[in-house]
Amino acid sequence: MQASWETLLDGVKKGNERSLARIITLVENRENGWKDAMKRLYPLGGKAKIIGVTGSPGAGKSTLTNSIARELVSRGRTVGIIAVDPSSPFSGGALLGDRLRMRDAVNLPEIFIRSMATRGALGGLCQGARDVSRILDAFGKDVILIETVGVGQDEVEVVKTADLVMVVCVPGQGDGIQALKAGIMEIADLYVVNKADREGAHEVAADIGGMLDIASEGSGPRPPILKTSAINYQGVRELVDVLVHGFDAGKNRADWRALRIKEEILSLMESEILHYLQDKWDRTGDLDKAIHQILKQQTDPYSAADSLLPLMREAFGIKETT
């Protein structure tokens, strides 16, 4: 295993796509040694700009991502795309279909596309997407686009890992805009009204503008609202201008970065702790015991969690603080 990590890391440094793809898989699968690999990859990156693309289903995010990537390549940049789709909660499988909307991106050697399932794993998708974008960064991609469906909390968290967050809307989806209010408004740096050749595009843009004005209570700068028709590349050049400009401003402030690093460390810790405890309790049977008692209505989840706490403290050698 060790040897193969070496070979792969070497491959990534040399620009070998197969090694890149392989390493992504191994890290995503949390194969032994993944964290060491990430430690080695981390210092190689740090240069890429990460753009989160989200919006309701049917907004044309993949098509737009494709057009943005194409335009970036024409401006001499290399691009990595991470396309996220949900895993089935029943089978754990997933149907990843974003590639098929990325007509140009699949043909350009400067672009690497990776489809990712949410997998509902402990530690969350968030860290997984962060790892993959970091690997792409280390590989040397200049810009990384992370595309998700902006409906679940998971997906909102994912785009939060980006430097810039773009929210895509379309005419004729009144409800979509309503749904955006929750959570996503605070983190959006940019709004795009896609399929702007359709009736109602102007109205959607005005609706978003209105909503932003209310939210900002009329003060401070408002995130830009752009119109595109990604399917025939209209408005894409202007959008990329704004994105490129945005790289230099916005959230690249030190405090924003510090906050994100804090979140990441906590999330890594959280998943480690959960894994550790789950592993331990799986062996001792304490967790199963608690579940059984709750099912038999002998106790409740709150009491069970409380009664498991000492076990955790013991495991980590923590003294009771309260």
Q: What is the contact surface with another protein in residues (CB under 8 A)? A: 17-18, 21-22, 24-25, 28-31, 58, 62-63, 87-88, 90-101, 103, 106-107, 112-115, 117, 119, 121, 172, 229, 231-232, 275, 279
Nearer to another protein, 19 or 223 (CB): 19
Residue 71 CA to residue 238 CA, distance in Å, equals: 10
Nearer to another protein, 113 or 190 (CB): 113
Residue 39 CA to residue 128 CA, distance in Å, equals: 15
Nearer to another protein, 67 or 161 (CB): 67
Nearer to another protein, 113 or 184 (CB): 113
Question: Least separation, in Å, of the C-beta of 207 and another protein?
Answer: 19
Nearer to another protein, 71 or 98 (CB): 98
Residue 182 CA to residue 217 CA, distance in Å, equals: 17
Question: Least separation, in Å, of the C-beta of 69 and another protein?
Answer: 13
Residue 307 CA to residue 5 CA, distance in Å, equals: 41
Nearer to another protein, 33 or 209 (CB): 33
Question: Least separation, in Å, of the C-beta of 243 and another protein?
Answer: 22
Reduce the DSSP state of residue 52 to 3 states and report it: strand
Question: Least separation, in Å, of the C-beta of 9 and another protein?
Answer: 16
Residue 19 CA to residue 300 CA, distance in Å, equals: 48
Walk across the sheet containing 164-169 and list its strands. 111-117, 79-85, 143-147, 49-55, 164-169, 190-193, 225-227
Question: Least separation, in Å, of the C-beta of 239 and another protein?
Answer: 17
Residues 6+ apart with CB under 8 A from 176: 55, 56, 59, 169, 170
Question: Least separation, in Å, of the C-beta of 62 and another protein?
Answer: 7
